[in-house]
Amino acid sequence: MKVTLKIWRQPDAASQGAMHTYELDGVSEDMSFLEMLDVLNEDLVARGEDPVAFDSDCREGICGMCGLMINGQAHGPEVTTTCQLHMRSFKDGDEIVIEPWRADAFPVVKDLVVDRGAFDRIIQAGGYISVNTGSAPEAHSVPVPRDDAVRAFNVATCIGCGACVAACPNGSASLFMGAKVTHLGELPQGQPERDSRVVGMVAQHDAEGFGGCTNIGECTAACPKEIPLDVISRLNWDLHAALRHGH
Amino acid sequence: MATTTLVTGARASRSTITLKLLMAASGLVFILYVLAHMYGNLKAFAGHDAYNEYAHHLRTLGEPMLPYEGFLWIMRAVLIVALVVHVYAAVRLGHRAIHARSQRYVVKKNLASSFSSRWMRWGGVAILLFVIWHLINFTIGKVNVAGGETNDPYNLLVDTFDTWWMTVIYLLAMFALALHLHHGTWSAAQTLGLTNNARARRNAKALGWILAVVIAGGFSLVPIFVLAGVISK
Amino acid sequence: MTDMPDTTLTGDPSHDAPAEHGDDAVGYYTPGDPISDTKSPEGPISERWQTRKFEARLVNPANRRKLDIIIVGTGLAGGSAAATLGEAGYNVKSFCYQDSPRRAHSIAAQGGINAAKNYKEDGDSVHRLFYDTVKGGDYRSRESNVYRLAEVSTNIIDQCVAQGVPFAREYGGLLDNRSFGGVQVSRTFYARGQTGQQLLIGAYQAMERQVAAGTVEQFTRHEMLELIVVDGKARGIVARDLVTGEIQTHLADAVVLASGGYGNVFYLSTNAMGSNVTASWRAHRKGAYMANPCYTQIHPTCIPVTGSHQSKLTLMSESLRNDGRIWVPKSKADCDKDPRQIPEADRDYYLERIYPSFGNLVPRDIASRAAKNVCDEGRGVGPEVDGVRRGVYLDFGAAIERLGRDAVEEKYGNLFDMYARITGENPYETPMRIYPAVHYVMGGLWVDYDLQSSIPGLFVTGEANFSDHGANRLGASALMQGLADGYFVLPHTIRDYLVDGPFEKIDESHPAVVEARRSVQSRVDHLLSTNGTRSVDSYHRELGNIMWEYCGMERSEDGLRKAIDLIRTLRDDFWRNVKVLGTAESLNQSLEKAGRVADFLELGELMCIDALNRRESCGGHFRAESQTEDGEALRHDDQFAYVAAWEFGSDPDSGGMGLPVLHKEDLVYTAIEMKQRSYK
Ligand SMILES: Cc1cc2nc3c(=O)[nH]c(=O)nc-3n(C[C@H](O)[C@H](O)[C@H](O)COP(=O)(O)OP(=O)(O)OC[C@H]3O[C@@H](n4cnc5c(N)ncnc54)[C@H](O)[C@@H]3O)c2cc1C
Ligand code: HEM
Ligand code: HEM
Ligand code: SF4
Ligand code: F3S
Ligand code: FES
């Protein structure tokens, strides 16, 4: 099939970007979306044009490296990652608009590549359990109710892709933060640092320039791991608790 | 705006979530107020004397513990504080949101968000404008658009809504209020951390619908029935 | 050294290197002195690690701050090491090419992690895990290392649980286990199908905590392109900032490579797009020995290739083989029919036929080879790619009938969904198609018991080293090894080296640094200025085809010789005719790829030489010349019970690759007796 691609091109962070249009023929529906872009890039290289830069690594939906805004939807029209989206979700003659994640906290590096370092710093600000290597007690000394473990797992599947931020009208990273706060907060091991964790993470989130959440819910709809809105409620709850505890 | 340094000395009270908490608390005050106000308005169906009696009663409520209009002033103080807080937080958060995405998308679809959630800021402004006019109309200025008397609350009310465009303005405002309540109720529950599972979330959303319909609907009854001639002098 | 990088061919088979019995690689390499591991203590195997930990000298806590350690890689092996060494108070610099440490390819591991906890009281023990791993590795691993791995495996679970890794649990709140990879005990800990992800996030968080504490400095989107060796010691790296293109020097007292596996030499593999051999290969060129490079693990249950656009292959959990039945049509004529129209009598359930006792559950290498054989016969199914159908059916029809669709969905639902998303077919209705794919490499840089390479001060952990899996890795053991190395082994062994530091200060003007930077710069310049006609990907794809065809599931003398010639020609062409656009001073993904492919082009040749040298079949390495009458792998312990540690043979005259030098490390088993595997 044949598609018309409108792609954001921007040489580097400092330059102005613009949308460019490319026609691509011979696209097979078995191609993944990124393979389709690979083919475009081979074409561009053959023509002597700079290939389109975009991020991907595992290409199996788990590393969180890929992420494009496709026709106004983060990761495109299916609930999955960009790398797991396939061309059979499109049809012959479609026009596909491809943009990078837009958030001032995720500056564009080049074309469709953005810098998500802010997420690492949010984790640095408290998204962990402090336990030095070798000082852990025997694993079975602290039983964890199965439901808690399952719930912790469900939200721990966040891949840090940033689609939640990209989709949120406020550019908020609350779903990402909430997922981590809930993951660690569900487990007995995570209790001692519960207050300082949420306070540190939220402060970093705010300093990075993400917006505040107004519970709009676009984030969860775009999330390839279907992290539910519960986690934002939980995030808020934990922050109030920290306030009460004088943090 | 991304920073590359880690925040030191983080304080919970400085966070966006605290702003949201203030917003939810003041929003809840508003909800309680409009609920009570809506109920009070329905006294209009009981006729001239009952309604004016009620208006008077509001002013003497709590006497002799409180001076004349004491209760009203306490309530006004609470409302004013809530309004200042609510608007302050709304402006701060709105400002952040604008700067969180200064480069907009060429194409952006909304998938899950309700219409009401996307209209909170404009809806809030609409309500604010409405309230200003409303106070000029009924409380501070006592403007009778029909040119009639202004010191009889019941008659002022009936004169106002006998004017068709006043009724339209009010009904539009009630629509804005309904939207605000629809999202606001659920949003406040989420902000307060009360929606930790799918069921609680459903309930909060249902409550949003109920409050929106009951409050905005309840308010609308009086203007509609005045215009229809059911309530008259 | 000229600026024209390394293309000249010097490995002429007619060279008169001394012949050895049964050695087909004569003439492709120079025999070197035997080597041995001098760090593993003598004595009973169960005491060696305790002894080593005690004997390794201690670094005074006050001195640790003055010691700099570079860690390349943030996967399980590198992330855990960065966290632990940071906690200990060293100055750590951590590098990865992705935009965040959390994206390292360890994240993709699905199945689980082994540990000898014996929570099930089913007869597991450190010794049994040790035994299973050595046997699974087809007696080609070093026993002291494997024993230590089994020994520290239990600590890993404790550590991860304390970090908040949400392992699967039973209703009583205790950890659940499953059995995995054909072993008879349940010792695999798992977090649904995302164990690697959860373990990596644990290590990542521990590392980020140290970043906040200031002991670890993290360099993302930085690629190591050269090792700096001063006076025979590893003293730093040259890295390229992938965003700005800046070539940077980073100096340290020790360097740790935890850069993962090189399965991408095959172009199509289950590895991430960026997985590469560059870090290891650059170290190899500076003197680190590369051990057993030909040992590759091919996983039988991957989603088949659909066309030439394919960029990578996706693994589906091995657990599918528990209930799915594997078959192909008996007759070639049926291959393009709808499988549902093919009657039972015309189907060949070949694994059940050839291996009646293990059936569909034979080990990975056997299942993979059998699939290749039936496809080579022309009985493969699915779309033709390059004229051959490469796929076999994995059929759940019987399982759905027996257990009901709901039960099958409950067990395998997410895998079925993934399959449906990728192929567009509904596996509940038509049988899935699977084909083997390169998945893991057992080979890697040679290390001693201390995980130190043949260059002092260069340590290698995780999949990048060769140490623990012999010729074949058991399921759920790579995660165990990565974390064992990073959390519990390296932090103890590296101190024995660092105690002599801080080493003499060097700076950018040191000749070794200047030379390393110059060589990186000239490579980059060369790649950008060649201005040829072929894209990097096209070279990579062609190399992958050669490797898969001749150095894949089955290797033969003729094939390998042919492959070596092909690779040399291709490499030559690459340096003359590659087309890399853009500049060096910005994000340039083609340039990144080009550098990686350049190194794969050298590695590929060494893999073939190694495979040629090893005229036996063991684990993942199957030589057509060494099989039993009924086509099973045949080991030759008398000749090949050694680790092949290859030294880079530089050829100063031509400035290129010379003949590699083979150092053999004899494998001595004191705690285990060698046996031939059989799965009939
Ligand atoms: C699909 C799949 C499923 C698997 N399932 C299992 C399983 O169930 N159980 C199991 O035990 N094993 C499994 N494995 C194997 C296991 O996941 C890997 O062997 C292991 O995770 C490797 O870890 P590592 O830390 O050595 O390397 P990786 O996790 O690959 O990390 C490599 C790191 O090195 C960095 N790097 C590489 N080159 C450079 C360079 N030149 N410069 C800078 N940085 C560099 C990368 O950025 C990355 O951070 C699986 C593997 C795959 C591919
Ligand atoms: C006076 C002008 C007003 C403005 C500018 C305003 C604006 C806003 C904004 C921007 C929000 C945040 C949107 C969100 O959370 O989704 C909000 C929330 C809310 N508003 Fe208002 N509003 C106003 C008046 C009112 C009134 C009169 C009521 C009640 C009748 C009200 C009730 C609420 C509630 C309950 C919330 C939810 C709080 C939360 O999200 O936690 N607001 N308002
Ligand atoms: C159709 C709908 C409404 C009607 C008929 C109505 C009617 C009135 C009347 C008659 C008064 C004067 C009461 C008195 O002074 O005795 C009043 C006061 C007031 N109303 Fe409304 N109202 C309506 C909706 C609203 C809404 C939606 C709000 C807020 C969002 C609101 C806020 C107020 C406030 C703040 C006062 C002033 C109270 C005081 O301080 O005395 N009203 N309203
Ligand atoms: S919460 Fe979902 S959308 Fe957001 S980063 Fe995590 S996986 Fe991506
Ligand atoms: S879309 Fe945005 S406003 Fe909150 S609920 Fe999600 S972060
Ligand atoms: S590339 Fe890893 S999730 Fe898409």
Closest CA to A2 of A97, A96, A99: A96
Please state the rounded mean pLDDT for residues A148-153: 94
> ∠ at Cα A200 (A199, A202), nearest 5°?
65
Strand-pairing partners, residue C298, are C438
- Pure H helices in C388-457: 397-403, 405-423
Range of the domain at B216: 15-95+116-227
The proportion of chain B whose per-residue pLDDT surpasses 90, expressed as a percent, equals 72
Residue C7: which pLDDT band, with cuts at 50, 70 and 90?
very low
pLDDT at residue C655, rounded to an integer: 53
Cα-to-centroid distance, B191 and ligand 5 (Å): 11
Does residue B4 form part of some domain?
no
pLDDT at C9 over 50: no
Does residue C643 form part of some domain?
no
Cis peptide, bond prior to residue C502, ω within 30 of zero: yes
pLDDT at residue C537, rounded to an integer: 95
Chains that touch C (3 or more CB pairs under 8 A): A
Task: Count contacts between A and C (CB, < 8 Å).
Answer: 221
Whether the CB of B21 is below 8 Å from some CB of chain A: the reply is yes
- Distance set, CA C335 to CA C331, C428, C473, C551, C631 (Å): 7, 20, 33, 27, 25
Q: How far apart are CA C349 and CA C351, in angstroms?
A: 6
The predicted-structure confidence for C473-518, as pLDDT tens digits, reads as follows 998 999 999 999 999 999 999 999 999 989 999 999 999 999 999 9
Catalytic residue annotation of C: 364
Say whether both C122 and C254 belong to one domain. Answer: yes
Best mutation site among A114, A172, A175, A226 for ligand 4 pocket (most ligand atoms within 8 Å of CB): A175
Backbone conformation region of residue C622, classed left if phi is above 0, alpha if psi is from -120 to 50, else beta: beta
Please state the rounded mean pLDDT for residues C29-44: 95
pLDDT: which is higher, A75 or C385: A75
Query: Hey, which of A90-99, B60-69, C313-322, C358-367 has the most confident mean pLDDT?
Result: A90-99
Nearest CA to ligand 3 atom 34: B135
pLDDT at C3 over 60: no
pLDDT at residue C182, rounded to an integer: 67
Closest CA to A66 of A38, A30, A90, A94: A38
Say whether both C215 and C344 belong to one domain. Answer: no
pLDDT at A237 over 50: yes
Q: Are C303 and C422 in contact (CB under 8 A)?
A: yes
The proportion of chain A whose per-residue pLDDT surpasses 90, expressed as a percent, equals 99
Say whether both C218 and C117 belong to one domain. Answer: yes
Whether residue A229 has its Cβ less than 6 Å from ligand 4:
no
Q: How far apart are CA C230 and CA C237, in angstroms?
A: 11
Does residue C347 form part of some domain?
yes
pLDDT: which is higher, C3 or C401: C401
Say whether both C338 and C391 belong to one domain. Answer: yes
pLDDT at residue C12, rounded to an integer: 43
CA dihedral for B102, B104, B110, B114, sign (positive or negative):
positive
CATH of the domain at C369: 3.90.700.10
Best mutation site among C97, C149, C282, C596 for ligand 1 pocket (most ligand atoms within 8 Å of CB): C97
Number of domains in chain B: 1
Residue showing tokens 């402090």: A130
Contact at CB, B2 and A209, closer than 8 angstroms: yes
Q: Which part of chain A is CATH 1.10.1060.10?
A: 116-244
Q: Are C298 and C436 in contact (CB under 8 A)?
A: yes
- Distance set, CA C418 to CA A63, C168, C200 (Å): 16, 21, 22
The predicted-structure confidence for B81-93, as pLDDT tens digits, reads as follows 999 999 999 999 9
Q: How far apart are CA A76 and CA A59, in angstroms?
A: 15
Please state the rounded mean pLDDT for residues C448-468: 97
Does residue B110 form part of some domain?
no
Q: Burial, A35: exposed, middle or buried (Cβ in 10 Å; 0-12, 13-18, 19+)?
A: buried
Closest CA to C327 of C341, C348, C313: C348
Residue showing tokens 């965040």: C100
Q: How far apart are CA C439 and CA C368, in angstroms?
A: 11
Q: What is the mean pLDDT of chain C?
A: 92
Query: Hey, which of B4-13, B16-25, B138-147, C417-426 has the most confident mean pLDDT?
Result: B16-25
Range of the domain at C332: 299-439
pLDDT at C13 over 60: no
Residue showing tokens 């409950």: C410
pLDDT at residue C4, rounded to an integer: 41
Say whether both C435 and C465 belong to one domain. Answer: no
pLDDT at B131 over 50: yes
Whether residue B42 has its Cβ less than 6 Å from ligand 3:
no
Nearest CA to ligand 3 atom 32: B131
Q: Which residues of C223-239 are buried (b: 16+ CB within 10 A; e: fewer)?
A: bbbbbbbbeebbbbbbb
Q: Report the predicted TM-score, pTM, of the whole model to 2 decimal places.
A: 0.95
Does residue C17 form part of some domain?
no
Whether the CB of C218 is below 8 Å from some CB of chain A: the reply is yes
B198: chain A residues, CB-CB within 8 Å: 228, 230
- The half-sphere exposure of B189 on its side-chain side, counting CA atoms within 13 A, is 22
Of the candidates B17, B103, B120, which has its C-beta nearest A202's C-beta?
Answer: B17
pLDDT at C6 over 50: no
- Distance set, CA A41 to CA A23, A75, B147 (Å): 12, 20, 74
The predicted-structure confidence for A166-212, as pLDDT tens digits, reads as follows 999 999 999 999 999 999 999 999 999 999 999 999 999 999 999 99
Of the candidates A30, A142, A157, which has its C-beta nearest C194's C-beta?
Answer: A157
Q: Burial, C216: exposed, middle or buried (Cβ in 10 Å; 0-12, 13-18, 19+)?
A: buried
Q: How far apart are CA B97 and CA B16, in angstroms?
A: 11
Best mutation site among B84, B134, B214 for ligand 3 pocket (most ligand atoms within 8 Å of CB): B134
Say whether both C160 and C283 belong to one domain. Answer: yes
pLDDT: which is higher, A122 or C14: A122
C162: chain A residues, CB-CB within 8 Å: 129, 131, 135-137, 139, 189
Whether the CB of B105 is below 8 Å from some CB of chain A: the reply is yes
Residue showing tokens 């906290």: A105
Say whether both C337 and C380 belong to one domain. Answer: yes
Say whether both C102 and C113 belong to one domain. Answer: yes
Does residue C561 form part of some domain?
no
Residue showing tokens 């050669």: C546
Return the C-alpha torsion angle C52, C57, C63, C69, nearest 10: -40
Q: Burial, B56: exposed, middle or buried (Cβ in 10 Å; 0-12, 13-18, 19+)?
A: exposed
Contact at CB, C209 and A143, closer than 8 angstroms: no
The proportion of chain C whose per-residue pLDDT surpasses 90, expressed as a percent, equals 82
Contact at CB, C581 and A45, closer than 8 angstroms: yes
Say whether both C288 and C309 belong to one domain. Answer: no
Closest atom of ligand 5 to A217 CA is 5
pLDDT at residue C17, rounded to an integer: 42
pLDDT at residue C22, rounded to an integer: 66
What is the phi/psi pair of residue C518, to 5°?
-65, -40
Say whether both C372 and C446 belong to one domain. Answer: no
pLDDT at residue C268, rounded to an integer: 94
Q: How far apart are CA C382 and CA C362, in angstroms?
A: 23
- Look at residues C452, C469, C498 and tell me which one is the last residue of a structural domain: C498
Q: How far apart are CA C287 and CA C283, in angstroms?
A: 6
Say whether both C141 and C275 belong to one domain. Answer: yes
ipTM of model: 0.95
pLDDT at C468 over 50: yes
Whether residue C224 has its Cβ less than 6 Å from ligand 1:
yes
Number of domains in chain C: 2
pLDDT at B171 over 70: yes
pLDDT at residue C653, rounded to an integer: 65
CATH topology of domain A3-110: Ubiquitin-like (UB roll) (3.10.20)
Whether residue A162 has its Cβ less than 6 Å from ligand 4:
yes
Instruction: Please state which architecture CATH assigns to domain A116-244.
Output: Orthogonal Bundle (1.10)
Closest atom of ligand 6 to A63 CA is 2
Residue C131 makes CB contacts below 8 A (sequence gap 6+) with C672
Q: C135: part of which helix (H) or strand (E)?
A: helix C126-136
Say whether both C78 and C161 belong to one domain. Answer: yes
pLDDT at residue C431, rounded to an integer: 94
pLDDT at B3 over 80: no
Whether residue A130 has its Cβ less than 6 Å from ligand 5:
no
pLDDT at residue A210, rounded to an integer: 97
